[in-house]
Amino acid sequence: MNMPVDQLVDGFVRFRIDLSYDGTDFAGWARQPGMRTVHGEVVRVLTQLFGDSETDFDLRVAGRTDAGVHAEHQVIHVDLNERQIRRIGRNKDVAGRLNKLLDQDVRVRSFEQAPEHFHARYGATYRRYRYRVADATANQNAMHGRFTLWLSYELDVLEMQATALEFYGLHDFASFCKPRDIGTTIRDIKEITVKRNKHDNNVIEIEVMADAFCHNMIRSIVGALIKVGGGRATKAEVVAALGAKNRAHPYKVVEPHGLSMIEIGYPPVKKLAEQVALVQRTRTLDEN
Amino acid sequence: MNMPVDQLVDGFVRFRIDLSYDGTDFAGWARQPGMRTVHGEVVRVLTQLFGDSETDFDLRVAGRTDAGVHAEHQVIHVDLNERQIRRIGRNKDVAGRLNKLLDQDVRVRSFEQAPEHFHARYGATYRRYRYRVADATANQNAMHGRFTLWLSYELDVLEMQATALEFYGLHDFASFCKPRDIGTTIRDIKEITVKRNKHDNNVIEIEVMADAFCHNMIRSIVGALIKVGGGRATKAEVVAALGAKNRAHPYKVVEPHGLSMIEIGYPPVKKLAEQVALVQRTRTLDEN
């Protein structure tokens, strides 16, 4: 078989599924034997509805998330053959039917036929994540405890904003990436903001949008920003750490439970094929 | 001892504690042997900080919540003697210290000396609760699954609003109260609204504010409103059920996990004594 990776095979129809999940009780996205993972749960209910699939429906995900990380919005695609599609039958509310089979901590937001050339991972132009921190100034809302990092001291949001600006644009983020054998650590941060959300308990929201992220990148950057916000590091020190392109700095990877994927961006339908081709030319397979 | 109920004993100082909790993993507010309850947890950490108390710090709560019900905002008071107060020592951040001792699903928002005549329960002029329902029109955000009722069908919010209006004001809510041996079922609903929250996944929020609620009252009313919203009951039928003053109607008590206490109202400080005296004259002890 000499065709491009992940091209749709004749006789199959591609479906886009939008999901959300509370990552607390999952060992992350990726399937692992004996572990409860989001991928595993989704394949389980797809199998219940559509029957066995040797290839696990060729499911692909926009961004794999680590253990404990949530998704307010995640996008996947699956390829279904005619026999599988016939099992939909008369009740077209596939999202509702999948939700009945899923536990409450994973929800299908929508299930629809994907446009031509759609690919959940290679078609995405950006990913957006949010990290939530409740410092001493925020209201302590225990109902959000599963997706909030609690700090007992106050953070200086202005200093954090000023430091965050230094991450904008194209950088080699080697200092803030967990090492891998292969692949570049160059990424393009298109947006990074730090603000208090007055409508949500005065919690500090750190939002980062980029073409893609290397492993642990956001949690490492948040670790550095929290040090600055708490007065235990300066902007200059963080800038120097970024420039050094190695992990010999004191900023730790913060806990996963404050982090949520909140948006995946796709180009307009007529640009999809172009985007998928572009990403396949330039990306290695281990990236998110 | 012939003094009024709950009057502050000489040598004690009253403290107001504002709390929030995720009720999922609690058997409700009230202490029960062998069960994990919010009251039990709060007394446990107060004891760690202030030492043993034979009277459990004379803790009183604004509104007891049932198993599974949450509190974005709850208010309690405790009475501390001089020996206990001395244990505060130099670190005045009592809220922060209690939070370090508590599990993540209970948070102390603030701990401060109460004004004269303050009483967490008898001083309250109103309680406000919110019930969250995600119908087929709402976005399915699994991160909010612990405090959202999922419905697979769409609700007619306008019909629900129109029906909710009928509950406004002073009524005998016997049809929507779990029976008790003693106490009146007359309550005064001061506000009841049904709306979609565009800033929160288009979830339907049913908010009810009243002087006080009888047992299961909000969850019973929400049950009736959902029947109307789903087209399986009419406003006229619900009005007739309210007028009948008995529970011979088909509206069920909905699940607890959608319900949260969100606000407790107190009068200005100079009116506190008056409010406490008023409530003590008119209320029986089993009400919330």
ipTM for this prediction: 0.84
**Partner residue facing A109 (CB), from B93, B140, B143:** B140
Are A111 and A130 in the same domain? no
Report if residue A3 sits inside a domain: no
> Residue A1's pLDDT is what?
38
Are B85 and B202 in the same domain? no
Distance, CA of B282 to CA of B288 (rounded, Å):
13
Q: What is the mean pLDDT of residues B114-135?
A: 96
Are A62 and A73 in the same domain? yes
Per the structure block, which two tokens stand in for A166?
Answer: 């230094």
Are B161 and B74 in the same domain? no
Asked if residues A256 and A187 have their Cβ atoms less than 8 Å apart, the reply is: no
Q: Is the pLDDT of residue B245 over 60?
A: yes
Are A193 and A109 in the same domain? no
Q: Which residue of A has its CA nearest to B95?
A: A152
Q: What is the mean pLDDT of chain A?
A: 92
> Residue A30's pLDDT is what?
93
Spatial CB neighbours of A285, under 8 Å, sequence gap ≥ 6: none
Are B247 and B185 in the same domain? yes
Are B25 and B106 in the same domain? yes
Report if residue A5 sits inside a domain: no
By mean pLDDT, which of A17-26, A196-205, B113-122, B182-191 is the weakest?
B182-191
Whole-model pTM: value is: 0.88
Identify the three-state secondary structure at position A46. helix
**Partner residue facing B105 (CB), from A99, A139, A142:** A142
Tell me: the pLDDT tens digits for A117-132? 999 999 999 999 999 9
Report if residue B107 sits inside a domain: yes
Are A112 and A183 in the same domain? no
What crossing angle do the helices spanning B94-101 and B38-50 adopt, rounded to 10°? Answer: 120
Q: Is the pLDDT of residue B255 over 60?
A: yes
- For residue B77, what is the enclosing H or E element? strand B70-81
Question: Which CATH number characterizes residue B72's domain?
Answer: 3.30.70.580
Q: What is the mean pLDDT of residues B74-78?
A: 98
**Partner residue facing A147 (CB), from B21, B143, B150:** B143
Are B245 and B117 in the same domain? no
Which residue range is the domain that position B16 belongs to? 12-123
- If one counts every other C-beta atom within 10 angstroms of the C-beta of residue B270, the result is 10
Place of tokens 């779990």: B178
Report if residue A55 sits inside a domain: yes
- For residue A263, what is the enclosing H or E element? strand A259-265
Q: Is the pLDDT of residue A284 over 60?
A: no
Q: What is the mean pLDDT of residues B105-110?
A: 95
Question: Which CATH number characterizes residue B159's domain?
Answer: 3.30.70.660
For residues B288 and B203, which has the higher predicted lDDT (pLDDT)?
B203
Report if residue A85 sits inside a domain: yes
Q: If pLDDT is split at 50, 70 and 90, which confidence band does B199 have?
A: confident
Last residue of a domain, one of B104, B123, B142: B123
Contacts of A152 in chain B (CB under 8 A): 93, 96, 99-100
Are A61 and A139 in the same domain? no
Distance from CA of A283 to the nearest CA of B (A): 31
CB contact under 8 A, B141 and A72: yes
Are B255 and B134 in the same domain? yes
Residues of A marked active site are found at 66
Report if residue B283 sits inside a domain: no
Tell me: the pLDDT tens digits for B270-281? 999 888 888 877
Q: Flag whether residue A75 sits within 8 Å of chain B, measured between CB atoms.
A: no
Per the structure block, which two tokens stand in for A231?
Answer: 């007065």
Tell me: the pLDDT tens digits for A245-276? 998 899 999 999 999 999 999 999 999 988 88
Instruction: Count the domains in chain A.
Output: 2
Are A241 and A273 in the same domain? no
Report if residue A287 sits inside a domain: no
Report if residue B113 sits inside a domain: yes
Contacts of B199 in chain A (CB under 8 A): 199
